[in-house]
Structures are given as C-alpha cells and as structure tokens.
A and B are shown apart, each in its own frame.
Chain A
Amino acid sequence: MNGTEKSRLKSPWITHINTGGCNGCDIEILACLTPKYDIERFGILNKGNPKHTDVLLVTGPVTKKYIHVLKNLYDQTPGPKVVIAVGTCACSGGVFKDLYNVEGGVDQVIPVDVYIPGCAVKPEAIIDGVVLALEKLKKLQEGTWKEVGE
C-alpha cells in the first residue's frame, strides 16, 4: 500500500444525501460530528459537495423525482468513491417500499458498497459503517475484494 492509498483511508470526506426520507437518519449523521462521537478524529469531514467527496452517505428511500438527482450526484463524485446506504429505507425502501412514488432502496439506482440498517440508525452504527467502507476500499485497492457469489 503506497502513500496515496494510505491517505485515502485516513481522509474520507463525506457528503450526506437525503433522497426523500424522514430526516431521522440525517440527524443521526450530524450527531456523529458532535464532540461526543467526533468522527473528525478519523479525518472525516462533512463536505456537502460531491466534487470534494469520497464517501456518499445516502439516507431515505429513493423517490422517483430524486432518481436523476442521485445519479447526477454520484457521477459528479470523483473516484475512488464508496456509497453507504444509511438506514432501513435507504437499504431496501423500508416501510415505503412499493409505494407509487418510491423507486426502492438506493441500490436500485446507484451501486451501494455498505448497508447500515436501523430506524433511525445509531451514530455508532454509522461510524462502524464508514470504517467498514474504508476496509472495502482498502481491499479493492489491494485487489483482494471478492463480491459475494463471484
């Protein structure tokens, strides 16, 4: 692992995107930034700008109106990037699954690397999820990651 790859694991900048959820998970994400959880100690910064982002934290079920926005944000994020579905709604659509205005989970629209279930998710779970996503990034860099079923 060279310097750049090591730096990637030490400085994951996040952007959180709400695709039409109830805002519960967003509040838990922001709770991670508070002194109690202090995710900045892992070098994580909340950028709010896809062009500066490495980790996309997506919350909420994807509504039909939001599909092109989410795709656009994903495309604007320079690689290497990881996507984390935060909360039950983002993982599968949750209670909103099969609603007439809802497409479903985030993985229906963009590829998702890590799923964090919970309604709402605990801040500890979000931190765990980001660390897991970094683990995946590391293995992708080393070329040892195998998708399930490969």
Chain B
Amino acid sequence: MNTIDIAIRILLFVLAPAFGCLFFGIDRKLTARMQNRVGPPLLQPWYDFKKLMGKTEEIVNHIHLVFAFAYVAFIMLALGIFLMDGDLIVICFSLGASQVFLALGAFSVRSPYSHVGAHRHLLQMVAVEPLLILAAVTIKLQTGSFVLSDIYARSTYPFFGINTILLLSLPVAFFIVILATIVDTQKSPFDISTAHSEIVSGTFVEYSGPYLAITKLGHWFELSLLFAFVSIFFSSDVLWISIAGKLTLDFAVFLLILVIDNSTARLTIDRLVKFSVRIGLPLIIINIVLIVISSMGVIA
C-alpha cells in the first residue's frame, strides 16, 4: 500500500458517517414521497445530530454511557478493518461485539422498555449473526480466503470479460447480507428492537442529548459498514468498473430496503428467528454444500 492508497482509505473512513447521514436523509425524504408527503430536508439527520449535541446532558448512570461509547468504538474498529482490507471474520465479530455492548447498555438502566429492547436485540443477534458469519464462510469457500485483499484478487467468475463478480456465484450469501442489512439498520419488517411507538425506541430509550447523538453516529458508521459488506459482492480488476459496480449494487440494495421498509409491517421477534432458522439457515447451508461438492469436481 502506498501513501495515496492509505490517504484514500482514511478519507473513506472519515466520510463514512456522512454517507450514513445522507442515507437516512434520503430514506426519510423518499419515504415521505412514497406516502405522498413533502418530507423533511435532505440534511435532516444532520440537523437532528447537531441539535442533540447542543442539548443539556442528563445521565442515568455512567456505565450506560461507557457501553454507548464501546458500541461506537467497535463499529469504527470493524469499519477500519474493512477499509484496510482485513479479515471478514474479525469484521463480523467486531460488529457482533458492538451489538452486545448496545444490549448491555440497554440492560444497565432500569427502564422496562430498554430491557425489552435489549432482549429483542440479543435475540435478533442470535438470528442474524450466524447467518452473516456463514455468508463470510461461503465467500471463503469460493475465494479461498477470509482476507478482503485476497478476496478481491481471487474471486474469479468470468462474466463478459469482467473477472470478478461474487454476486453471481453466491446469490444466497448476497440475500443473507441484505437481510442482515435490513435488520441492523432497523427497517421494517425487522425494526424489532427499536420499535418506535411499540416500545418507544427500545435500546435507545434512556439515552438523551449528546449521548443519543453518539449512538446515532455509531448507527451511521454501522450503515456504512453494512453497505461496504454489500459492495464485496462486486469487484473487478478494472478500477472504474469496480467502483461503478459497487456503487450501483449499493444503490440497488438501498432502494430495495426502502421499498421493503415502506411496504411491510413490523413482525414479532419470534417471526424473525423462525425466518432465519427455517429459511436463511437451510439456504446458506445448501449453498455451502453446493460449493463444496462443485469444488470436489462431482458436478460442473
């Protein structure tokens, strides 16, 4: 890696929350348009963030805040590893750790809403994290490595002369990553742990003012990380095709998530777990078995 390469990576890291902020802005605007409303300005999440930073601090207890910062720190760590082309498994576990800290923070206060949110958050992790890790395993089986730089280099799948499109060889893993993105961005039908108006805002109910803003910042980073995860599924040895493909893929997934969010109602937590165990898990196991069989040369 040369200096310019590292500079670009650092720039991407700094721009990651801006991307997350813009995502939620576009999300709110498009949702409003889909409901035939005018909707807030595009930079509304930024105004919310600034406002929250300027509010007076009301602290429930200090450990609550430590967990909030730990959540953000582990998300930033995961994104940092991703941008330095690190190990996919480490990224998955770092993401998982951040979610655990979020749940622990919600458990550290006495609000029953917060506790319900934390319980749901843990169950949601049980449903989604194994799928995400198995998706990483399918990528490993296909490309021979968990390390991103090797994945980019080795994921060979000939398609119109472009060398590397994981999307076509691993459609099931891609589906699972989209599912994880919907769950982790708290979109319908899986906005279970922060269900607004049902359990107010679940895990975030006791955070207020600047500390709520910090968790929002973490959420922006998380979103960037998930979309970065989606973008693994398209890479090419030609730089501009690679970048254009990644952006197109991210945008398509973004629109898909928005449409799903606006056209579905919230499910209960056991429906998410059932969905994950009955549909997600068998699908990805079938995918793994197929890859193993084809690599042994039995078919194809």
Report which A residues bind B (CB closer than 8 A): 3-8, 10-11, 13, 35, 38, 40-43, 47-49, 51-52, 54, 76, 78-80
Contacts and interface: CB of A to CB of B under 8 A. Distances in A.
B144 interface: no
Nearest to A4: B54
B111 to A, nearest CB: 9
Nearest to A48: B200
A98 to B, nearest CB: 35
B163 interface: no
Contact count band on B? 20 to 34
Contact of A10 (B37, B47, B57, B208): B47
Contact of B51 (A11, A47, A76): A11
B35 to A, nearest CB: 6
A35 B51 contact: no
B205 A35 contact: no
Interface stretch (B38-46, B154-162, B258-266, B290-298): B38-46
A7 B51 contact: yes
25 contacts: A7-B47, A7-B48, A11-B44, A38-B32, A38-B37, A38-B39, A40-B32, A40-B39, A40-B40, A41-B37, A41-B40, A42-B40, A43-B40, A47-B201, A48-B196, A48-B200, A49-B200, A51-B58, A51-B206, A51-B208, A51-B212, A52-B212, A54-B51, A79-B55, A79-B56
Contact of B50 (A7, A42, A78): A7
Contact of A78 (B40, B46, B47, B55): B55
B101 interface: no
B51 A8 contact: yes
A109 B53 CA distance: 29
Interface string B15-42: 0000000000000100010011111110
B209 interface: yes
Given A49-B205, A78-B208, A35 B35 contact: yes
B37 A35 contact: yes
A82 to B, nearest CB: 13
A48 B48 contact: no
B205 A51 contact: yes
Nearest to A33: B37
B207 interface: yes
Interface of B: 28, 32, 35-41, 44, 46-51, 53-58, 196-197, 200-201, 205-209, 212
Majority SS at the chain B contact face: loop
Contacts of A40: 28, 32, 37, 39-40
Closest 10 CB pairs of A and B: A4-B54, A7-B50, A51-B208, A38-B37, A10-B47, A7-B51, A7-B47, A41-B38, A11-B47, A11-B48
B34 to A, nearest CB: 10
Given A41-B40, A43-B40, A78-B208, A7 B200 contact: no
Contacts of A48: 196-197, 200
B200 to A, nearest CB: 5
A64 B57 CA distance: 30
A52 B57 contact: no
Contact of B201 (A3, A43, A52): A52
Nearest to B205: A49
A4 B200 contact: no
A73 to B, nearest CB: 13
| Max count, chain A CB within 10 A of own CB: residue among B39, B58, B207 | B58
A78 B57 contact: yes
A69 to B, nearest CB: 16
